[in-house]
Structure 1
Amino acid sequence: MKTVLCFGDSLTWGMDAENDTRHAYENRWPSVLQKGLGHGVRVIPEGLNGRTTVYDDHTAECDRNGARLLPTILETHAPLDLIIILLGTNDLKPVFANNAVIVGHGIKRLVQIIRHHPWPMDMESEPEILLVSPPPFCETDDPLLGPMFAGRIGESQHLASVYRDLADELGCGFFDAGAVAKTTPIDGIHLDAENTAAIGRGLEPIARMMLGM
């Protein structure tokens, strides 16, 4: 049995902007990936609304710092064969004053944490890592997320090239979610059910390859 960890934010959790709730289980991209990969693979969805790569959000009701939470999550779900990271959207909030290159530094830190983790059992090899760039933002009239991500559309469009270069540098896999999914103008950040599912379908071939299936 192969095990895949999907480490992400609200795009992985399955936020439904239209209804301000959560997409049905079968439409979330980790669920679609699970269905595509079949019974020989266990896909673990680990999405949290508002999660960042390495930053604290003191306005949140829970810990959203991905770097601080990741070691515990690795320990919880080990052994792992593939870790898919889909983060970076929340790093672009103006409060963190980041550009796409600096977001990449956070992604690189997560890869370092995985590569240097003292695994709790004798794993034959380290898990493969797949970096997924989030779909670029779009214009929105949403009264909350519009101002929250004001002026960040351009930087969101640069994330794919930054992540692609990082994947080459670090020896990771890469997938551009923006190649198969578009954000909804309802809030400019999240995805409707079809676009969420499209990420799972798009990831299946590369996940199969990285799992040696």
Structure 2
Amino acid sequence: MKNVLCFGDSNTFGTNPNRIGTRHPFDVRWTGRLAGLLGPDWRVIEEGMGGRTTVFDNPLEPQRDGIGALTVVLQSARPIDYAIVALGTNDLKEIFNASPRTVAAAAEFVCQTIERYPYGGCGPAPKILLVSPIHIKPGIENSPYVGFAADAAPRSRELARYYREVAERNGYLFFDASEVAEASDVDKLHMEAASHARYAEAVARILLDDAARAN
């Protein structure tokens, strides 16, 4: 069995844009759909959290920095064949004042931490799929999810070029989620069911194709 860790934020958690504080059902969110698409020879490990950043600590949302949770997650989830890193949206909050290039560097640090973790007898380190997030939609400054200024939307559109560079430089698999999925018009941030489905289908193709090449 191949084990896939999905380490992400609220769109990995499956936050439902139509009802604040709720979550899409397992068979709707992309991680659940991915499990169905990959089949019984794969195990999908959900690790999504609303507000999670790459490395930044937000005093208004404590203990949401991905790097702080990562070692516990890796210890618990190992062995891991693939690690999907789907972070960066929350790094665009006004409090961090982080450029898209800085966000990509922070995502790279998360990926490198996964590579360098001592997996012991549960090694080797997993192959990494780095995901550039969906775009934040204009009007996010009026969303019920506070913390984003108006410039978060255009800055989110710049992430993919830097994420792609990180993936190419390190030999990671890469997926630009904005090519197949989008944020809801309701809250400008989270995916509806149709986008979760397209997201899952794209990720499944990447993983299955890579596994086939490895064999």
Quickly name the TM-score band, shorter chain normalised. over 0.9
Q: Could you tell me how far apart the structure 1 residues matched to 2:132 and 2:25 are? A: 23
Q: Could you tell me how far apart the structure 2 residues matched to 1:211 and 1:149 are? A: 41
1:137 equivalenced with 2:117 (yes/no): no
Q: Could you tell me how far apart the structure 1 residues matched to 2:207 and 2:146 are? A: 33
1:143 CA displacement:
4.3
5 Å-filtered alignment, 1:64-83, equals 64-83=64-83
1:152 CA displacement:
1.4
Flag the 1:143–1:199 CA change in 2: closer, same or farther, 3 A: closer
Secondary structure, aligned partner of 2:27: helix
Do the aligned residues in 1 keep the contact of 2:117 with 2:125 (CA within 8 Å)? Answer: no
Structure 1 counterpart of 2:47: 46
Q: Which amino acid aligns with 2:51?
A: G
Structure 2 counterpart of 1:11: 11
Secondary structure, aligned partner of 2:121: coil
Q: Could you tell me how far apart the structure 2 residues matched to 1:146 and 1:198 are? A: 27
1:210 CA displacement:
2.8
CA offsets per residue over residues 34-92 of structure 1, 9 Å max, x none? Answer: 100000000001000000000112222x5111011111101101000000011000000
Q: Which amino acid aligns with 1:171?
A: G
1:147 CA displacement:
6.1
Secondary structure, aligned partner of 1:98: coil
Number of aligned residue pairs: give it.
Answer: 211
Flag the 1:143–1:130 CA change in 2: closer, same or farther, 3 A: closer
Structure 1 counterpart of 2:189: 189
CA offsets per residue over residues 94-146 of structure 1, 9 Å max, x none? Answer: 110011100011111111111111113252x3210000111111123744337
Do the aligned residues in 2 keep the contact of 1:75 with 1:120 (CA within 8 Å)? Answer: no
Structure 2 counterpart of 1:113: 113
5 Å-filtered alignment, 1:120-159, equals 120-123=120-123, 125-140=124-139, 142-145=142-145, 148-159=148-159
Secondary structure, aligned partner of 1:15: coil
Do the aligned residues in 2 keep the contact of 1:140 with 1:186 (CA within 8 Å)? Answer: no
Q: Could you tell me how far apart the structure 1 residues matched to 2:52 and 2:146 are? A: 18
In percent, how many aligned pairs have the same letter?
36
Do the aligned residues in 2 keep the contact of 1:78 with 1:120 (CA within 8 Å)? Answer: no
1:164 equivalenced with 2:171 (yes/no): no
Do the aligned residues in 2 keep the contact of 1:81 with 1:211 (CA within 8 Å)? Answer: no
Do the aligned residues in 1 keep the contact of 2:8 with 2:49 (CA within 8 Å)? Answer: yes
Q: Could you tell me how far apart the structure 2 residues matched to 1:108 and 1:116 are? A: 12
Do the aligned residues in 2 keep the contact of 1:83 with 1:127 (CA within 8 Å)? Answer: yes
1:184 CA displacement:
1.1
Task: State TM-score, norm by structure 1.
Answer: 0.94
1:57 equivalenced with 2:58 (yes/no): yes
